[in-house]
Each structure stands twice: as C-alpha cells, then as structure tokens.
Amino acid sequence: MEILLLLEESDTETIEAAKAANPPRNVTFLIIPPGHPQTKPKACNVGLFLARGDYLVIHDAEDKPDADQPKKAVVAFGRGGERLVCVQAALN
C-alpha cells in the first residue's frame, strides 16, 4: 500500500510533526507548493497525479477512518461493477 501524505508547504508545524512521527517506508510526503487557490481539492489533484495503483482512498486530516476502510473501498468497487467510479464512506 502506497501512502501519500499531502502537506501544504507553508504548514511547517504539521510537516515537522509528520517527520517526527517517523512513519513507515510506504509513506511519502508530498509537499504542495504555494499557489492559488490554496485548497484541499488542489492538493488532491497533485496527489492523484502522482498516485500509482488501481485504487485510491482519500482521508482528510480531520477524519478518523476505520482501520479497514481501504479494504472496504476495494470490496465496494469489486461489487459495484465496471461503471462504479467513486464510493463515499461514512464520516466520523
């Protein structure tokens, strides 16, 4: 599993905290350069462009996803047929 952690370049406090957490090797920090608009969709577009693999799961920093949420997403896609392109999990 590839994990891309999208961080705004100006958010040095979060970047330093993420580095200090010493995440596993499958976590890659993507520093989103400044520019307008400074939005989550812009950051997600950068992450989407660089992501590899067949499935993509997005977690917002404020979310508390279930540990098995990525697995649930893959199962949902498998059951949803070839026309299914997006699933939304319950938000906590």
Task: State the total domains in the chain.
Answer: 2
Q: Report pLDDT for 90.
A: 77
Task: Output the pLDDT for position 56.
Answer: 85
pLDDT value for 92: 66
Same domain? For 10 and 36 the reply is yes
pTM of structure: 0.79
pLDDT at 29 (0 to 100): 95
The boundaries of the domain holding residue 86 are 55-92
The pLDDT profile of the chain, 92 residues, written as one tens digit per residue, is: 899 999 999 999 999 999 999 999 999 999 998 888 878 888 888 999 999 988 888 888 777 888 888 899 999 999 999 899 999 887 76
Residue 61 and residue 38 share a domain:
no
* Same domain flag for 16 and 32: yes
Degrees to nearest 5, angle at CA 16 with 10 and 18: 105
- In which residue are the tokens 């993509």 written? 56
CB 84 within 8 A of CB 77: yes
